[in-house]
Amino acid sequence: MATSNEHKQLHIAMFPWLAFGHIIPFFELSKSIAQKGHKVSFISTTRNIQRLPTLPPHLAPLINLVKLTLPHVHELSPNAQSTMDVCTDDVHYLKTAFDGLQPEITHFLEKESPDWIVYDFAPYWLPSIAGSLGISRGFFSILSAWCIAFLGRSPDDMINSTDDRTTAEDFLKPPNWFPFPSIVCFKKHEASLIFANNFTVNASGVSDTYRVGMVLKGSDCLFIRHCYEFEPQYLPLIEKLHHLPVVPVGLIPPKNVADDKDETWVTIKKWLDGQEKGLVVYVALGSEVVVSKSELCELALGLELSGLPFFWALRKPAAASTESHSVELPDGFLERTRERGMVWTTWVPQLEILRHESVGGFLTHCGWSSIVEALMLGHPLVMLPILGDQGLNARVLVDKQVGIEVPRSEEDGGSFTKESVARSVRSVVVDDDGKMYKANAMELSQIFGDTKLEKKYINHFIDYLEHKTKSCVHGCVA
């Protein structure tokens, strides 16, 4: 390891929001930093740290897993430490608990004095604390560039709610600060939920847009899970809107490989091996998305009606304990589809399933991580966005013609039917249109699966950390 001032070992603190869709990209980026010989303090709550994948032995000495005690909020279970542990309506209470980590984080920064603190959207109070201690500050957005651009015209507008969008209907079209044609907007059933959950003050005392605005305003730079080779126009737009250097870190494709001796993978692989090549629909809506009982029923019956083989990763989120959010499947469904379908209710090695030659399409909620995994392997998509940024992601991917959205009825809150599910699945996997979706997805795999491109972005990211820290060492402002 080099020891000169030109290549001194840095200490980077990483502090993600309490959701595994955020924690895992932060964790993967931490491993890339350690791979370059720098020290990382990965900070989260005790239970979340315990749920992390095992570190590779050669990186473990460089990554310190820092466990914080999440303050208890009486509306939450004592074990609720991530969004997968709570229902969607209670996530704002988790943000209240998260804000209670401020004293512990402050103590850590005062004691350890890292060169950088890289944080998520949630700790709006952290940039000023780190700045007062002379620590370089980076906001790492795991959301796509179009989502950040959509959120607000400027940090001050986001903080003060002055960007002229005052009702849910205002989110049904691209914002007026987009200087180019765009299809990035919400649908009616999404907009009302987004407006209520993200643009209004919640139990934590602030809105999510306020958090993002404060984080953007107080940061030295924005790191983002994106690349110029895919939808490049949003990156310079963000830089212009927020007056911040924007440093894409690449798409952070996963690198985990399932153990051939792992019983779960052995069982799943045996089933997949028995299916016809390119016909299996892989279905996964993430570990934190909870669909209603009626939506679950229509999805199941739609898969049955499609006549195609399917593998359904149907994990029950810990919070899905109510009657309306149960994972009870329609009567007789498992028996009727036994010959061509498998429903798996615990963890599955998603990347290995997607790599299997029998898989011909992915029915997904359009979380950014799932999109990256699907497109790196050239799979067309059947899109069923549920929450947050997923709808915006779906609009972009439909425009790229890598798949279709399951049609929904806006008259009754965005419901969908078994017929619409069946038609969508067949259109992507076996109908003539599917050839186009597959070809376009394969073309994008040249970007999403390009390991050399990914390495280039990671190297540039590390160089940025080193250069800006080095500037501070020589008396410059970070």
Select from 26, 14, 7 the least CA-distant residue to 252: 26
| CA dihedral (187, 192, 196, 197) positive or negative | negative
The domain 263-448 is classified under which CATH number: 3.40.50.720, 3.10.20.600, 3.40.50.2000, 2.40.100.20? 3.40.50.2000
- The phi and psi torsions of 69 (rounded to 5 degrees) equal -95, 115
- 282 Cβ neighbours under 8 A, 6+ residues apart: 310, 311, 313, 353, 354, 359, 361, 362, 363, 379
pLDDT score at 298: 96
Residues acting as catalytic residues: 22, 120
| Residue 4 confidence (pLDDT) | 42
Could you report the per-residue pLDDT of 37-77, keeping only the tens digit for each?
A: 999 999 999 999 999 999 999 999 999 999 999 999 999 99
pLDDT at 227: 96
- Three-class SS of residue 199? coil
- Which residues in the chain are classed under CATH 3.40.50.2000? 5-253+450-471, 263-448
Alpha-carbon span 123 to 445, nearest angstrom = 34
- Has residue 208 got a pLDDT over 80? yes
> pLDDT tens, 436-454?
999 999 999 999 999 999 9
As a whole number, mean pLDDT of residues 306-312 equals 97
What strands lie across the sheet with 280-284, from one edge to the other? Answer: 341-344, 310-313, 280-284, 359-364, 381-383, 403-405
Q: How far is CA 352 from CA 262, 282, 368, in A?
A: 12, 11, 18
Q: What is the pLDDT of residue 410?
A: 81
Nearest Cα neighbor of 325 from 337, 316, 334 is 316
Per-residue pLDDT, 427: 97
Q: 248 CB contacts (<8 Å, ≥6 apart)?
A: 145, 223, 224, 225, 226, 227, 228, 235, 457
Q: Over the range 199-212, which residues count as b (16 or more CB within 10 Å of their CB) and which as e?
A: beebebebbbbbbb
Close Cβ partners of 233 (under 8 Å, ≥ 6 residues apart): 180
Mean of pLDDT values over 359-379: 96
Distance, in Å, from the CA atom of 469 to the CA atom of 188, rounded to the nearest integer, reads 45
Higher-scoring residue by pLDDT: 368, 387: 368
The pLDDT score that the predictor gives to residue 286 is 82
Q: Extract the tokens encoding 313.
A: 């990763």
Which string of b and e fits 313-352 if b means at least 16 CB within 10 Å?
bbbebbbbeeeebeeebeeebeeebeebbbbbeeebbbbb
- 125-176 pLDDT, tens digit per residue, is 999 999 999 999 999 999 999 999 999 999 999 999 898 888 889 999 999 9
pLDDT digits (tens, 9 = 90+) for 403-417: 999 999 887 778 899
pLDDT band at 471 (very low <50, low <70, confident <90, very high): very low
- Listed in sequence order, the residues at least 6 apart from 37 whose beta carbon sits closer than 8 Å to its beta carbon are 1, 2, 9, 62
Question: In which band, very low, low, confident or very high, does the pLDDT at 319 lie, cut at 50, 70 and 90?
Answer: low
Q: What is the mean pLDDT of residues 335-360?
A: 94
Helices of type H across 113-207: 126-132, 145-151, 155-160, 188-198
CATH 3.40.50.2000 correct for 5-253+450-471? yes
201 vs 222, more confident: 222
What pTM was estimated for this model as a whole? Answer: 0.91
Q: What is the pLDDT of residue 317?
A: 59
Distance, in Å, from the CA atom of 436 to the CA atom of 380, rounded to the nearest integer, reads 9
